[in-house]
């Protein structure tokens, strides 16, 4: 029997995480613009990292609590949500999004590298565990990915002289919001563990079906806003960046804090689904045009994933 208190804490924690992440993203965006960072880099790295902070906070507290299956489920579920629901909603709202100029060149140069980065955790996890060495490998891969993007950023960045008084408010908001987000993440993990125990369901399933939806809300919010405001570079860029951040940086940190073992059968089926969906999403982006029809197709694929997970629980 699920306690009403646990459900209330879960929903309240998700709300706190989403609102805190929203403030974090705004603060990071303002600071990055003051430093003269270009839009495509803002979407690929800054916004993608900002929207992955809920997953990072959840992973940190999940690792400390030694609930590795919850972490893994959350990361895979959140990444699947990014490439299906978030990209799908962006495509539906945008109706007919053209990928061109600097934006297309960035995607074009990172398509295969992105797919390779998503494959890496799958390969490392085939033995049913993530060691500290695996964590180091994932962090090195993330560093390499980031280095490649920074090298491209140098070609487009315009240098600005930043004055502290121009960004001090954003720094204060950033510190307060990160504190609130960490607070929410701790209670999110605790309540998710209580609910999974009450239902006698694996924390992996709770992570992939419930927690991931909550921690992906910032990506969905930013994605919708970016298309409505006609800043599509940020929305589409954050989708790819968030997946890379989740599967390399966040998973790498979790493995470093506490190496863990997991159910290979459940992991492999979900990871294969993620790899396949990432490939499909990248193919859509490769076409240079993403339409509303492809958006509905991606959402249908997510519904298919949900049904398959529920059937095999």
For the chain, what percent of residues have pLDDT higher than 70?
73
In this prediction, residue 294 carries a pLDDT of: 86
Residue 161 has pLDDT above 90, yes or no: no
Query: What is the per-residue pLDDT across 241-259, written as a single tens digit (0 to 9) for each?
Result: 788 888 899 899 989 988 8
Greatest alpha-carbon pair distance for the chain in Å reads: 59
**124: phi then psi, degrees, rounded to nearest 5:** -65, -30
Q: What is the mean pLDDT of residues 66-93?
A: 83
The highest-confidence range among 16-20, 163-167, 279-283, by mean pLDDT, is 279-283
The pLDDT-based confidence of 40 (bands split at 50, 70, 90) is low
In this prediction, residue 56 carries a pLDDT of: 80
DSSP, collapsed to helix, strand or coil, labels residue 158 as coil
Q: What contacts 2, CB < 8 A, 6 or more positions away?
A: 195, 198, 199
Q: Give the whole-angstrom CA distance, residue 222 versus residue 225.
A: 5
The pLDDT-based confidence of 84 (bands split at 50, 70, 90) is confident
The encoded tokens of residue 289 equal 């045009």
| Residue bearing the bigger pLDDT, 294 or 133 | 133
Beta strand segments in 78-166, E: 96-98, 129-130
DSSP, collapsed to helix, strand or coil, labels residue 128 as coil
Q: Give the whole-angstrom CA distance, residue 155 versus residue 153.
A: 5
Domain boundaries, the chain: 4-311
Query: What is the per-residue pLDDT across 59-71, written as a single tens digit (0 to 9) for each?
Result: 887 788 777 777 8
Query: What is the per-residue pLDDT across 230-242, written as a single tens digit (0 to 9) for each?
Result: 655 555 666 777 8
Q: Give the whole-angstrom CA distance, residue 281 versus residue 91.
A: 11
Query: What is the per-residue pLDDT across 117-157, written as a single tens digit (0 to 9) for each?
Result: 889 999 999 888 899 999 999 999 999 888 877 776 666 55
Mean model confidence pLDDT for the chain: 76
Topology of domain 4-311, CATH = A middle domain of Talin 1 (1.20.1420)
């Amino acid at each position: 029997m699920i306690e009403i208190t646990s459900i209330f804490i879960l929903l309240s924690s998700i709300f706190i995480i989403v609102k805190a992440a929203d403030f974090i993203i705004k603060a990071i965006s303002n600071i990055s613009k003051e430093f003269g960072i270009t839009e495509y880099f803002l979407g690929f790295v800054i916004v993608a990292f900002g929207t992955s902070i809920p997953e990072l906070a959840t992973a940190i507290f999940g690792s400390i609590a030694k609930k590795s299956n919850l972490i893994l489920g959350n990361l895979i579920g959140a990444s699947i949500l990014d490439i299906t629901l978030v990209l799908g909603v962006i495509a539906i709202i945008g109706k007919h999004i053209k990928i061109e100029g600097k934006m297309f060149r960035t995607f074009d140069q990172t398509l295969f590298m992105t797919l390779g980065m998503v494959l890496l955790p799958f390969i490392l996890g085939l033995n049913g565990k993530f060691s500290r060495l695996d964590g180091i490998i994932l962090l090195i891969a993330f560093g390499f990915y980031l280095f490649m993007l920074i090298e491209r950023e140098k070609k487009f960045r315009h240098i600005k002289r930043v004055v502290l008084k121009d960004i001090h408010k954003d720094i204060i908001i950033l510190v307060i919001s990160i504190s609130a987000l960490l607070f929410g993440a701790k209670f999110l993990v605790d309540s998710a563990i209580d609910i999974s125990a009450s239902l006698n369901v694996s924390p992996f399933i709770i992570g992939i079906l419930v927690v991931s939806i909550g921690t992906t809300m910032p990506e969905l919010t930013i994605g919708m806003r970016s298309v409505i405001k006609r800043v599509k570079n940020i929305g589409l860029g954050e989708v790819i960046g968030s997946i890379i951040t989740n599967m390399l940086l966040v998973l790498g940190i979790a493995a470093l804090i506490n190496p863990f073992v997991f159910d290979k059968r459940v992991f492999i089926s979900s990871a294969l689904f993620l790899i396949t969906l990432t490939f499909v999403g990248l193919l859509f982006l490769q076409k240079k045009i993403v339409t509303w029809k492809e958006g509905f197709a991606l959402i249908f694929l997510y519904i298919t994933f949900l049904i398959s997970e529920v059937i095999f629980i």
